[in-house]
Structure 1
Amino acid sequence: MKQKITVSEGKPYPLGMTVTQRGEINLAAALHGKEDCGVILYPRKGGSRIRLPFHSGNRVGNVRCMKICGLQAQDYDYNFYVGDEIVTDPYARQILGNERWGRRVNPQLRGREDFTAFDWGGDVPPMTPLHDSILYLVHVRGFTRHPSSGVNNRGTFAGIVEKIPYLRSLGITALELMPAYEFVELERRKETRPSDRPEPMDRLTDDSPKERPRINYWGYKEGYYFAPKASYSSSDEPATEFKGMVKSLHENGIEVIMQFYFPKEVKSGFILEVLRYWVYEYHIDGIHLLGEQIPTALLASDPMLANTKLFYYRFPCEEIYGSREIPDYRNLACYREDFLYDMRRFLKGDEDMLGRVLFHLKENPAQTGVVNFIAGYEGFSLADMVSYERRHNEANGEDNRDGRDYDASWNCGAEGRTRRRWICDLRRKQMRNAIALLFFAQGTPMLVSGDEFGQSREGNNNPYCQDNAISWLNWDLTEKNGAFLDFVRAAIRLRKEHPILHRPEEMTMLDYIACGYPDLSYHGREAWRLSVERTSREAGLLYCGNYAKIDKTRDDDFFYIAYNMHWEEKELALPALPAGMHWEKVMDTQDGSVVGDGRVVEKSIRIPGRSIRVIKSFGKPVKEGKRVEGATAF
């Protein structure tokens, strides 16, 4: 018996496919032009396609709409058409046709509405403040795709859930996911002469001998922003699996930050709709915005995103807040590479860097946070930045012409792999130095997954197309480089346990509570005096624990962190502590120690070349509020 289908005037919003309370299908699409346009319905169980045109009267602006009676929405996938062109709905909640990673899209992408109910239970977002956050950057596929991951569902959202015990042991508070919305990863690229730059195309559509496939492993391209990536799901319900991942992470106090790349052609209103949808539908906790012409003021001012972390290169704070307003919940953070380049140059001993390093260690703006990272998805990994000075991107097939020309790296004496013991020891120490610089700066630290156990990309500083061991995490390294992993865990734990190392506001370098010490002070060969000259590469930073409370009850400890990136040993003076207290070492990048030796440190310390030492106060003050003679802010 032939179905009776009736088409009537629909509603222009929301866009895409929705179902009314009466079970009718509402379809709305922004289709420009005067050509014949409509919808194609594909029966899921087989059968003939149904082609229904939009009537000219059912139009509001450029939005065409219709309401269909007589069909069940869950029985059909759909596309729109404009003339002879098939258009996959950018508002589709699920995309069909690209479920298998790296395969040709066949025969045509199709949209599908997600009708699966999900029980969020008592899901509560952690809402971790920026100053308490520790971000961990993850590529969903690469995180667990390697056989060494030991998970059942490799390369998927479910695989991340299986790694939650590891994430908790590491101490991170938020997972930042590289693009995990639907995108077509299989691209085509024309063969070019050596002097030409290859240009990526949308996707493979034919077998032209002048074109060859290329995987866009990262996913920084225009995508189908309302749908989780189907090939990152171990089931045929990617939306449900993604929600389950978010819920499980929240139960363990871990937030989910999503990266979204929007080319400049994407409209501001659409971007806002995408972000609102993911926050409401998927309970994500933050968004890292990538691309040009992002409407940051619009997004930052949206009430629905007020409790959602938003990261971007910069924010127009004057336009968003005015000159003096401080937000109740600081959800904006600047995500730039200034920290990366300055700290790397300091690490390798460049001149005239100490002033910039002191700025980054203290930086913590009132209206926006700052995200610090010393390695990212692009450029050298942490292990490679101490092992390579030149890019080695031959595997990308672009004659080693792609990627950055300058990474502010230093190979410590040999390019790439080496067995020379002194070079390997120096590289390990430099990695520990990098971790100390990252986690003892006041801004929000971001660690790239795998860097905590020395994952190398073999000198490739642009592995955008490497869906293989170059990009997949090798979990065997957690044992091979276990000592370094323990050092990273200890640095994270020390930061989290002591609020003086991650204050909610920027330090003033003033004694504003009249305790005898400023909150932060700088020291050199003499206590309370630091010379910042072009050749200076060492400094001691004193953090006064009286300015922060542990568990809101007792004052934090004093910390003195000594930095020496000169290749020779340097002596730094130690300021006196209140009576009844003394200094002891608790961490040292020279030997990787993370447990104190119990020896009292007095008056001054000698810091080996290219090392960082953390010294903490022990004991209780005999008399509080005693001013230390000569204590002044730098």
Structure 2
Amino acid sequence: MTLGATITPEGIRFAVWSSSVRRLWVSLFDDSGAREIDRLELNPEGGGVHALLVRGLGDGTRYGFRADGDYAPERGQWFDPNKLLTDPYAVELDRPYQYHWRLAAKRNEGTDTASLMPKAMARFLPKPVPPQPPLFRPGGLIYELNVRSFTRLHPDVPEAQRGTIAALANPAIIEHLKRLGVSAVELMPVTASIDERHLPPLGLSNAWGYNPVTFMALDPRLAPGGIGELRDTVAALRKAGIGTILDLVLNHTGESDRLGPTLSLRGLDALAYYRHQPDGRLVNDTGTGNTVACDHPAMREMVLDTLRYFAHFAGVDGFRFDLAPVLGRIDGAFDPEASLLQAIAGDPVLADRVLIAEPWDIGPNGYQLGNFRPPYLEWNDRYRDDVRRFWRGDAGAVGALATRLAGSSDVFGREGQPASRTVNFIAAHDGMTLADIVAYERKHNEANGEHNRDGHNDNLSWNNGAEGETDDEAIAKARFDDQRALLATLFASRGTIMLTAGDEFGRTQKGNNNAYAQDNAITWLDWAGRDQALEQYASSLAALRRVLPALADQRFLTGEPADGSEVPDVAWLAETGAPLGEADWNDPGRHRLVMLLANDEGGRLAVMINGDRRQCVFTLPARDGFEWHPALEAEPVDLARPLPGRSVSFMVERRAAKSRNWKGS
């Protein structure tokens, strides 16, 4: 990186880019960050770069930038030398951001903001992590977690470490992840973020971190040890066979709309770094007030430098891109061949990293599911919605369920693609938890201070016990059974799957489906009160998925035998064992299904789904020389007895002589 603060034997070279600034300074601060001790003007070097070598400075120097030029917000110009600005290439901050109204004051109406701003700290960068291929491979289990809420209440994590990145390297945490068969943890944003301006008056704060100011500096609350803390944690997880994926917000910043604070990019060159309407108004394809101009060369290079930084110096396996269509917008229109998307996938440092797109934003034609190109995987909300509809009992949902179980070829099989790029999930950080899906028909976001107006209204959720049921034990069992069914469906789905932390043991947010502002017990995982029976069931599903490669396979199913096989790669059956016909697929009352997959050694795997509340006897087709056996030893299935309602059961077919050696968990 040529921008930012580079420590050299002579001192520190400060460099920043702006195409329209008239003057730029670096402000230097004492070791406390409280007192400005010098202000030095940077020199234009051409191409928009302004730089200065300050001799005698070294590691730990605290600094910020100031910029002067035209101030005309209606034209997208916000220059104000009274605003201390964070270096867009800062790698460490001395304290977290805190919102204050003075940060958004107009020029000549506000005072100097240095006392309100964190100071960037110049740092020697460590040696790059030796190149290693990612541990995660498509088809594995991604475990999405919020660093702070995940360990805030964990009894085995030292109190001083709870809620930090370092806590993820604790042996108790790693053992939990291994029991679940986690292929990679996906860390919700860990870079420094700021609260939205409406939260402090409500006594709330942003608990999720999807409101960054710059892209590289980690939040001091989550990583008091800086990049070294992330690096060490990634290494500890890797040693346990678990990869690390960073959820990055590269689509907007916390500078918000025209009433927002001036913190970094806005004060340096808002017209270049953000997209604007022809009349000068900020484009808002993100719902946050601004949208980063990823088609601008300076911003494109900043995004690439950010990804290289985390790959080089932390050794992460890959990235999940929040509101990813923004990264592919050219002059406002999404283009899957956009230069930034191609540059990421083709970069020598990044080419083998895991790349995951959240394929929607709120801009024009912002829903782009299935339209990214390989190697990008995509969050599949069609999977989420169709699985929920089926288990809610919606009429005619069985066909859509089969499509989702098989890898969503209708979405990802376009242009002759042979394999799916789906990331299947039933619940994520944004929305109801898995336990709340089966307990709340409507959202309950009252604690967010917006009179329950925020968050999605259509959750495809249901309330077991709402139909006059008064037996608390029966309600609890119904909700438990539905959670098991949802988990089993997820683990039985082909392609990559994602589980949000705590859903394996029944975490609840009491119906809050937009808990971004709840840094409290609403989002903190209750380790002491977790449902250990549900957790054990999730672990057994993970064990089953590990030993049955047919479940994680990315290839689309054809209904025909693969080379060297005598059985089709899939057959769809009714509970009677007969193939489903057109009338069955179109039957709005059908809630039962068998997915029969070709398995190893010529055998088959049967996934028997009973979405009806009534129990039912399932029949599986027999073959000479083969026998059906329960796939989950902890929960053996007897085909002579009815399978319970609202359940998913697994049977594996093996050659008779080898059946006694089968172990599924």
Quickly name the TM-score band, shorter chain normalised.
0.7 to 0.9
CA displacement, residues 413-439 of structure 1 (integer Å, 9 cap, x when unaligned): 239998611111111110000011100
Of 566-575 and 83-92, the range deviating more from structure 2: 566-575
Corresponding residue number in structure 1 for 2:92: 94
Deviations 1:83-132 (A, max 9, x none): 32321101011012318999x99532211122264695x7845433212x
2:31 corresponds in structure 1 to 44
| Structure 2 residue 344 is matched with structure 1 residue 344 | no
Aligned to 1:193: none
Whether the aligned pair in 1 keeps the contact of 2:60 and 2:123 (CA below 8 Å) is no
Alignment RMSD: 3.0
Q: Does 1:596 align with 2:646?
A: no
1:460 corresponding residue in structure 2: 512
Q: Partner residue of 2:619?
A: 573
1:219-230 mapped onto 2 (5 Å cutoff): 219-230=209-220
Q: Distance in 1 between matches of 2:449 and 2:370?
A: 45
Judged with a 3 Å threshold, the aligned counterparts in structure 2 of structure 1 residues 514 and 59 are, in CA distance, closer, same or farther, namely closer
Match of 2:643 in 1: 607
Q: Give the Å deviation of 1:212.
A: 5.0
1:334 aligns with 2:378: yes
Which residue identity is paired with 1:344?
R
Counterpart selection for 2:64 from 65, 79, 91: 79
Q: Which of 440, 463, 478 is the matching residue for 1:388?
A: 440
TM-score (normalised: structure 2):
0.77
User: In the alignment, does 2:169 pair up with 1:171?
Assistant: no
Larger % of helix: which? 2
The equivalent residue for 1:441 is 493
- Give yes or no for contact 2:192–2:213 (8 Å, CA) kept in 1: yes
Write the letter of the residue equivalent to 1:518.
P
Alignment of 1:394-433 (within 5 A): 394-414=446-466, 420-433=472-485
SS state of the match for residue 167, structure 1? Answer: helix
Q: CA deviation at 1:507?
A: 2.3
Shift of 1:367: 5.7
Asked if structure 2 preserves the Cα contact closer than 8 Å seen for 1:32 and 1:62, the reply is yes
- 1:224-283 CA-partner distances (Å, limit 9, x unpaired): 2111211113x4x32111111011111111111111122222434122221122112211
CA contact (8 A) 2:60 2:122 kept: no
Alignment of 1:127-526 (within 5 A): 127-131=135-139, 133-146=140-153, 148=155, 150-152=157-159, 153-162=161-170, 163-184=173-194, 186-189=195-198, 211=201, 213-233=203-223, 235=224, 237-261=225-249, 262-263=251-252, 264-268=291-295, 269=300, 270-291=302-323, 292-295=325-328, 296-314=341-359, 331-363=375-407, 365=412, 366=418, 369-414=421-466, 420-478=472-530, 481-513=531-563, 515-524=565-574, 525-526=576-577
Contact 2:181 2:539 in 1 (8 A): yes
- Code of the residue aligned with 1:285 in structure 2: it is D
Contact preservation (8 Å) 1:349, 1:567: no
| Displacement of 1:75 | 5.1
Q: Secondary structure at the match of 2:450?
A: coil
1: CA distance, partners of 2:516 / 2:29: 35
How far apart, in 2, do the equivalents of 1:385 and 1:416 lie? Answer: 19
Amino acid at match of 2:20: G
Partner in structure 1 of residue 54 of structure 2: 68
1:31 aligns with 2:18: yes
Query: Shift of residue 488 of structure 1?
Result: 0.2
Work out the CA distance in 1 between the residues paired with 2:578 and 2:156: 49
TM-score, scaled to structure 1 = 0.81
Flag the 1:312–1:556 CA change in 2: closer, same or farther, 3 A: farther
The residue identity in structure 2 corresponding to 1:486 is Q
Q: Could you tell me which residue of structure 2 aligns to residue 532 of structure 1?
A: 585
- Judged with a 3 Å threshold, the aligned counterparts in structure 2 of structure 1 residues 116 and 294 are, in CA distance, closer, same or farther, namely closer
* Whole-angstrom distance in 2 between the partners of 1:435 and 1:48: 55
Given that residues 381 and 457 in structure 1 are in contact (C-alpha distance below 8 angstroms), is that contact kept between their aligned partners in structure 2? yes
Secondary structure class of the residue paired with 2:229: helix
The CA distance in 1 between the partners of 2:6 and 2:164, in whole Å, is 28
1:42/1:50 contact within 8 Å kept: yes
Bigger strand share? 1
Q: Deviation string for 1:421-469 (max 9, x for gaps)?
A: 1111111110000011100000211011011110111111111100111
The CA deviation at 1:596 is 2.3
Counterpart amino acid of residue 42 in structure 2 = F
| Counterpart contact for 1:557–1:616, Cα < 8 Å | yes
Q: Among 93, 114, 120, which residue is 1:111 paired with?
A: 120
User: 8 Å contact 2:603–2:626 — kept in the other structure?
Assistant: no
Aligned CA distance change for structure 1 residues 360 and 75 (closer, same or farther; 3 Å): closer
SS of the residue corresponding to residue 224 of structure 1 reads coil
Whether the 8 Å CA contact 1:361–1:442 is kept in 2: the answer is yes
Given that residues 38 and 53 in structure 1 are in contact (C-alpha distance below 8 angstroms), is that contact kept between their aligned partners in structure 2?
yes
Q: Which secondary structure state, in structure 1, belongs to the residue aligned with residue 512 of structure 2? A: coil
Once the two structures are overlaid, the 10-residue window that deviates more, 457-466 or 532-541, is: 532-541
> 1:523-555 deviations in whole A, cap 9, x for unaligned?
113433442122221111111224xxxxxxxx2
- For residue 16 of structure 1, report the CA deviation from its aligned partner: 0.6
Relative distance call for 1:368 and 1:583 in structure 2 (3 A) is closer
How many angstroms does 1:331 deviate by? 4.1
Instruction: Quote how far apart the aligned CAs of 1:368 are.
Output: 5.2
Alpha carbons 2:469, 2:475 under 8 Å: kept: no
Where structure 1 has 5 or more consecutive residues not aligned to the other structure, the ranges are 1-12, 190-199, 205-210, 322-329, 547-554, 588-592, 623-634
Cα pair 1:188 1:212 within 8 Å, conserved: no
Q: How many residues align?
A: 553
Distance across 2 between alignment mates of 1:149 and 1:417? 39
* C-alpha spacing 1:559/1:54, structure 2 compared with 1 (3 Å): same
Aligned position for 1:590: none
Give 1:304 shift: 2.7
Q: 2 CA distance for matches of 1:213 and 1:457? A: 18
Contact kept, 8 Å, 1:383 with 1:455, in 2: the verdict is yes
**Are the aligned partners of 2:60 and 2:121 in contact in 1 as well (CA < 8 Å)?**
no
Q: Would you say the 8 A contact 1:442–1:501 is kept in 2?
A: yes
Question: Quick check: 1:127–1:307 contact (8 Å CA) kept in 2?
Answer: no
> In the aligned structure 1, how far is the partner of 2:370 from the partner of 2:475?
49
SS where residue 399 of structure 2 aligns?
helix
Alignment gaps of 5+ in structure 2:
69-80, 104-113, 253-290, 329-340, 361-367, 413-417, 659-665
* Letter paired with 2:46: V
